[in-house]
Chains A and B, each alone.
Chain A
């Protein structure tokens, strides 16, 4: 492989990782934008999502990488799996908000954040105790189509991941920009009190933010499985830290920012892993987080969280 091929291959890898992190970052940004809460449960809602996807695929009789689907059956299986996964994680997110976080909404201090850490730990250990510590083979029904661009290889799965992630992000952008509930969401992010007085049902808006964010985390978990061909109870931590870093990098509370941040973090991981060694990828990502927070806390596109003094 020439240097250029290597560059191209890492760009392809980086964009796929970036799509995954962008979807994850959106969940952090939606919730932070409204509640100013770092939702640590998001880390493992993502992980649970990949297991729900795994089980759904298994319902179709898909287990390893042997069974290949094409055409309509493939589209159908993917559609059902994405829908089921996203609905399930969305419901988990809403449940967390409704029963564990809403009672703490008016409590000052770190209580809500500590609760999300606890929830994250509970999800993590439920999966560990029921599924076990070994990583699970993730079914991949995609035909092994690939095209060679020089020495680099572009596989069908990467193209598919890009398409799905783009569609989801377009749908979210449409929702936030064009629908009544989306407008209410933006208003609440600006000033919850004023929004409430204008008749916005803040509870419903917050619930929607949790639902959408968690559903996107579920989609991201499914993409993780498709991309890496495995899943495990451990995957939430690293992916979550990257997703959060992406949200901060783009400007927390900022929806397009989360998408941009996700892509950048994905590319940084791909190229950084190539150049410095993957053992240090965490350190690089984390260094970015600290540098952004210290020198440009508003991120690349500007922070859009409520101004509460």
Chain B
């Protein structure tokens, strides 16, 4: 009895990375050895099916788990891959033979045949070639379906994809000439390897499925841990913040949709090759729901979780429920209960799916294997590991100087923003000289944040122009404006709450990095170097705040204190390599000491040459930092000048304090 604790201690002593490798090795051996240990064709077949569903779950996980796009018609892409392979390897579609087909015949893609009548073309697409091609075809359909719909709000996307998922089987059912309608395709060719056909034995399919699952796990993990995966998660967490941090929303959503579709297309080829038939019923709404249940059960966004979810549900259906039914029948016979002898649990599997969805959402939203682990708060000792310094930045020299042009960095000319009948900004003019600090003040509702939103492309302006470094930026999308070098923070803090401090700051660098999806998967030396440099720079920026953030780099930001979240937002904006920084009430909610500290830090950033536009209520901060103060009231600029002048301006006093107070002061 003492062996177990001893073993556990041994196991705990192994470093985490090594433990993971060990686990992976054991899993690989177990999976590869399974058919030899358990030589039962039906069970091996069940495992191959489970693997096929794991592939689908991995694909849907990219769409739902990573990018946060709820796709309820995912089986449509499964169907597209399946029919692609089915049609091009069966005898369903047989055009008349002409010499134009000869080159394809030479490649082995088609063959000439005649069934007593005229000579016809029989498609004989290779399984191995079909896998990547079907993935690409499905991805193409993903873009086609996604392009009009991904601009919609997330909840509309759910119902639109539900419709797409419904239409594809309808088309399959009604376009008989291509799909053989409801009867389904028959005589689909089994895969061949060096001339040997897989036939109907489960074993070869099992190993192919394991290989494909391994491939898709690999691709998922590579994508997750890259610039692309971070951008997807940023979209999932907060679309608006993601776009102002340089993430091209439509492009990345389409990419997620297409990648998920590609996974499903690939799976479709495998599944149909294994069954050697395809009917519309194999790809209906219940399949989409089942894959969603797998993702929800395993954990949205968790690669290993969704594989586990798929395995659990598939094996529940093919092993556990039939066994349970048999046991219950036997028990019913024993006690002589007629109902117990009739009951069939396999039929109620969809009921179980529904219950799983509800129970998981209510009690365990992160799934069996959560994608993000909860990190405990720091101990006092751990906090003091990093250099303690209050009042300024630590190691500012590491992030380099800003080079500024001369003249005006930002020129806002006559900008008007209307919301329906409300005029939020009325012909506002404002210039920020390169290397300067301009503060915008004004009572609540005076249009300060609207001004920032107009500059960063979040709200459209009806009149005027906004020039940044001489070029018009009005009308550009937020990510394009960020790319020009305009970065911002938000009054009500918009971080990516379930991501770590480090990930938040890395997303800030999105526009300055270049890794695409292919680069992320291949991870060539160039990509590695880029990632390493980005991580180094992120750590340098985090370290600016001394022990405030550095020891918390690995914590999710939702657990941080209010002031620290503000600091992360500044860090994230700095990571975008801004040429101008827009700070929207950066010290709101901070105590006087924290306010002073941040003001000091902003001043030192400006000292390095960074141009700053600031919204601030605290007049001492404004006086300390700003060269020029612009005062807004009711969407109009009422005055502009040096901080001291503005403080004494009558109109400003009236706007801020009201008439009575002004008279009291004047006494």
**What is A's interface to B at a CB cutoff of 8 Å?**
36-38, 100, 103-104, 107, 109-115, 117-122, 124-126, 128-129, 237, 241, 244, 248, 279-280, 282-283, 286, 289-290, 293-294, 297, 309
Residues of A within 8 A of B170 (CB): 279-280, 282-283
- Does B355 make an interface contact (CB < 8 A)? yes
- Report the bound CA distance from A113 to B357 in whole Å: 10
Q: Are A121 and B354 in contact (CB under 8 A)?
A: yes
Residues of B within 8 A of A109 (CB): 68, 236
- Does B167 make an interface contact (CB < 8 A)? yes
Counting chain B CB atoms within 10 Å of each CB, the highest count among A109, A117, A122, A283 belongs to A117
Residue of A nearest to B295 (CB): A114
Residues of A within 8 A of B361 (CB): 104, 111-112, 114-115, 118
- Report the bound CA distance from A143 to B171 in whole Å: 40
Contact of A115 among B154, B163, B358 (CB under 8 A): B358
Q: Are A126 and B351 in contact (CB under 8 A)?
A: yes
Main secondary structure of the interface of B (DSSP, over half): helix
Q: Are A294 and B149 in contact (CB under 8 A)?
A: yes
Residue of A nearest to B145 (CB): A290
Distance to closest chain A CB from B559 (angstroms): 16
Residues of B within 8 A of A113 (CB): 70, 155, 158
- Report the bound CA distance from A158 to B355 in whole Å: 39
- Report the bound CA distance from A293 to B158 in whole Å: 12
Residues of A within 8 A of B365 (CB): 107, 111
Residue of B nearest to A108 (CB): B497
Distance to closest chain A CB from B416 (angstroms): 20
Residues of A within 8 A of B351 (CB): 121-122, 125-126, 129
Distance to closest chain A CB from B56 (angstroms): 17
Counting chain A CB atoms within 10 Å of each CB, the highest count among B64, B155, B353 belongs to B155
- Does B466 make an interface contact (CB < 8 A)? no
Distance to closest chain A CB from B148 (angstroms): 5
Q: Mark B353-380, 1 if CB is under 8 A from A, else 0.
A: 1111110011001000000000000000
Residues of A within 8 A of B151 (CB): 294
Interface size on B, residues (CB 8 A): 42
- Report the bound CA distance from A132 to B493 in whole Å: 53
- Report the bound CA distance from A241 to B73 in whole Å: 13
- Report the bound CA distance from A283 to B68 in whole Å: 26
Residues of A within 8 A of B289 (CB): 117, 121
Q: Are A38 and B362 in contact (CB under 8 A)?
A: no
Residue of B nearest to A123 (CB): B354
Q: Are B160 and A290 in contact (CB under 8 A)?
A: yes
Q: Are A241 and B162 in contact (CB under 8 A)?
A: yes
Q: How many A-B residue pairs have CB under 8 A?
A: 111
Could you tell me which residues of chain B, from 146 to 186, have a CB within 8 Å of some CB in chain A?
A: 148-149, 151-152, 154-156, 158-160, 162-164, 166-167, 170-171, 173-174
Contact of A241 among B163, B236, B354 (CB under 8 A): B163
- Report the bound CA distance from A297 to B156 in whole Å: 10
Contact of B358 among A38, A118, A128 (CB under 8 A): A118
Distance to closest chain B CB from A46 (angstroms): 16
Q: Are A117 and B292 in contact (CB under 8 A)?
A: yes
**What is B's interface to A at a CB cutoff of 8 Å?**
64, 68, 70, 72, 148-149, 151-152, 154-156, 158-160, 162-164, 166-167, 170-171, 173-174, 236, 240, 285, 289, 292, 296, 347-348, 350-351, 353-358, 361-362, 365
Q: Are B354 and A118 in contact (CB under 8 A)?
A: yes
Counting chain B CB atoms within 10 Å of each CB, the highest count among A118, A128, A282, A294 belongs to A118
- Report the bound CA distance from A50 to B657 in whole Å: 64
Distance to closest chain B CB from A34 (angstroms): 14
Given A103-B362, A290-B149, verify A120-B354 contact (CB < 8 Å): yes
- Report the bound CA distance from A107 to B364 in whole Å: 12
Residues of A within 8 A of B362 (CB): 100, 103-104, 115
Q: Are B68 and A36 in contact (CB under 8 A)?
A: no
- Report the bound CA distance from A122 to B68 in whole Å: 24
Distance to closest chain A CB from B321 (angstroms): 13
Residues of B within 8 A of A237 (CB): 166, 285
Q: Are A110 and B154 in contact (CB under 8 A)?
A: yes
- Report the bound CA distance from A110 to B292 in whole Å: 12
Distance to closest chain A CB from B244 (angstroms): 13
Distance to closest chain A CB from B235 (angstroms): 12
Distance to closest chain B CB from A283 (angstroms): 6
- Report the bound CA distance from A303 to B154 in whole Å: 16
Residues of B within 8 A of A118 (CB): 353-358, 361
Residues of B within 8 A of A279 (CB): 170, 173-174
Distance to closest chain A CB from B65 (angstroms): 11
Residue of A nearest to B162 (CB): A241
Distance to closest chain A CB from B566 (angstroms): 20
Q: Are A297 and B154 in contact (CB under 8 A)?
A: no
The 5 A-B pairs with the shortest beta carbon distances in the complex, nearest first, are A118-B357, A121-B354, A122-B354, A125-B351, A286-B163
Distance to closest chain B CB from A91 (angstroms): 18
Distance to closest chain B CB from A286 (angstroms): 4
Distance to closest chain B CB from A83 (angstroms): 29
Residues of A within 8 A of B154 (CB): 110
Given A36-B155, A38-B155, A104-B361, verify A121-B149 contact (CB < 8 Å): no
Could you list 7 A-B pairs, sorted by A, with CB under 8 Å?
A: A111-B365, A115-B357, A115-B358, A244-B159, A248-B156, A282-B167, A282-B170
Q: Are B167 and A283 in contact (CB under 8 A)?
A: yes
Residues of A within 8 A of B353 (CB): 118, 121
Q: Are A289 and B163 in contact (CB under 8 A)?
A: yes
Given A100-B358, A294-B149, verify A121-B155 contact (CB < 8 Å): no
Distance to closest chain B CB from A141 (angstroms): 33
Residues of A within 8 A of B347 (CB): 129
Distance to closest chain A CB from B275 (angstroms): 23
Contact of A122 among B64, B149, B167, B355 (CB under 8 A): B355
- Report the bound CA distance from A297 to B155 in whole Å: 13
Residues of A within 8 A of B155 (CB): 36-38, 110, 113
Contact of A125 among B156, B350, B356 (CB under 8 A): B350
Other CB < 8 Å A-B pairs besides A118-B354, A118-B356, 10 of them? A104-B362, A110-B64, A110-B155, A114-B361, A117-B357, A237-B285, A283-B170, A290-B148, A290-B163, A294-B151
Q: Are A38 and B68 in contact (CB under 8 A)?
A: no
- Report the bound CA distance from A59 to B170 in whole Å: 39
Residue of A nearest to B148 (CB): A294
- Report the bound CA distance from A124 to B349 in whole Å: 12
Distance to closest chain A CB from B81 (angstroms): 21
- Report the bound CA distance from A208 to B663 in whole Å: 52
- Report the bound CA distance from A117 to B167 in whole Å: 19
Residues of A within 8 A of B162 (CB): 241
Distance to closest chain B CB from A128 (angstroms): 8
- Report the bound CA distance from A215 to B614 in whole Å: 53
Q: Are B350 and A286 in contact (CB under 8 A)?
A: no
- Report the bound CA distance from A280 to B72 in whole Å: 20
